């Protein structure tokens, strides 16, 4: 019994992944290609254990209408789309044709192209094209940190009651508790976390998986 979350060593994390969240061949190939072709930004990819968690959460929720803000090379979108029913739909917003070209290949390989729609362009503008009424079951935010608050304000009114918003990188690799942060992304995340906590439209929990994942439920 412990009152604190266990710190994961590399060996223990390998055990966690191997026992319940082991990537299949498609995801292993995607992870390897991302690291090989895009080594300088491969850290933008979510962790395998987070991908497995998101697939299961999508299934538990029974989500049919989902949105992803920030797709990169497609690991998180595959994770969400695999949790959707056959008639489910995931709309992905991203600004990079280069990164998402990798994602598109792996969506096809995973047999998910009929569930995923990619819309390229600034997310702030693209989100405004979504229907204004509450209709979304699941949203995953993993893009530019300084834009999180704007995305949040556009997304929350579009969530149906009981819908979930997942927000990545809310711990900023531990820098979220720096006494005097100067990095604009960390500063933005500190403000974002405070605003989510104070938002009466949702109830939320911050889960220490990977780089921190906020799960907010629309009331």
What is the edge-to-edge ordering of all strands in the sheet holding 89-94?
Answer: 116-120, 89-94, 65-69, 136-141, 159-168, 213-218, 202-207
In a domain, 2, yes or no: no
- The tokens describing 153, both together, are 């304000």
Full pLDDT tens readout for the chain, 219 residues: 678 888 899 999 999 999 988 999 999 999 999 999 999 999 999 999 999 999 999 999 999 999 999 999 999 999 999 999 999 999 999 999 999 999 999 999 999 999 999 999 999 999 999 999 999 999 999 999 999 999 999 999 999 999 999 999 999 999 999 999 999 999 999 999 999 999 999 999 999 999 999 999 999
Nearest by Cα to 167 from 150, 184, 183, 179: 150
CA distance 109 to 97: 18
CA 8 and chain centroid, separation: 21
CATH number of the domain that residue 152 is part of: 3.40.50.150
Nearest by Cα to 112 from 76, 138, 141: 76
pLDDT of residue 1: 63
pLDDT of residue 141: 98
CA distance 71 to 99: 8
CA distance 10 to 6: 13
**Helix, strand, coil tally for the chain in percent (to 5):** 45, 20, 35
pTM: 0.97
Whole-Å CA distances, 53 to 123, 142, 191: 25, 15, 26
Backbone angles phi, psi at 116, to 5 degrees: -120, 130
Count of structural domains within the chain: 1
In a domain, 93, yes or no: yes
In a domain, 3, yes or no: no
pLDDT of residue 3: 81
In a domain, 35, yes or no: yes
Q: How many residues make up the chain in this entry?
A: 219
Backbone angles phi, psi at 9, to 5 degrees: -75, 170
The C-alpha angle with vertex 182 and arms to 9 and 216, in degrees rounded to 5, equals: 60
CA distance 3 to 120: 44
In a domain, 4, yes or no: no
In a domain, 16, yes or no: yes
pLDDT of residue 71: 98
DSSP 208: -
DSSP string, 126-166: HHTTS-SSS-EEEEEE-S-GGGHHHHHHHHGGGEEEEEEEE
Q: Which domain holds residue 182?
A: 10-218
In a domain, 205, yes or no: yes
- The tokens describing 10, both together, are 């590399």
pLDDT of residue 122: 96
């Amino acid at each position: 019994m412990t009152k604190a979350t266990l710190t994961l060593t590399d060996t223990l994390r390998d055990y966690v992944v191997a026992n319940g969240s082991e990537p299949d061949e498609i995801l292993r190939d995607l992870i390897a290609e991302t690291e090989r072709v895009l080594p300088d930004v491969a850290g933008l990819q979510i962790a395998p254990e987070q991908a497995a968690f998101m697939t299961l959460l999508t299934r538990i929720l029974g989500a049919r209408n989902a949105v992803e803000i920030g797709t990169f090379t497609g690991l998180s979108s595959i994770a969400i789309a695999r949790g959707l029913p056959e008639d489910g739909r995931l709309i992905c917003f991203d600004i990079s044709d280069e990164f998402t070209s990798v994602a598109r290949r792996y969506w096809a390989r995973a047999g998910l192209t009929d569930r995923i729609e990619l819309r390229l362009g600034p997310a702030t503008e693209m989100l405004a094209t979504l229907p204004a009424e509450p209709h979304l079951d699941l949203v995953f935010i993993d893009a530019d940190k300084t834009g999180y608050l704007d995305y949040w304000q556009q997304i929350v009114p579009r969530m149906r009651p009981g819908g979930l918003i997942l927000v990545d990188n809310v711990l900023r690799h531990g820098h979220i508790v720096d006494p005097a942060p100067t990095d604009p992304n960390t500063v933005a995340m500190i403000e974002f976390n405070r605003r989510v906590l104070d938002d009466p439209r949702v109830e939320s929990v911050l889960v220490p998986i990977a780089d921190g994942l906020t799960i907010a439920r629309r009331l």
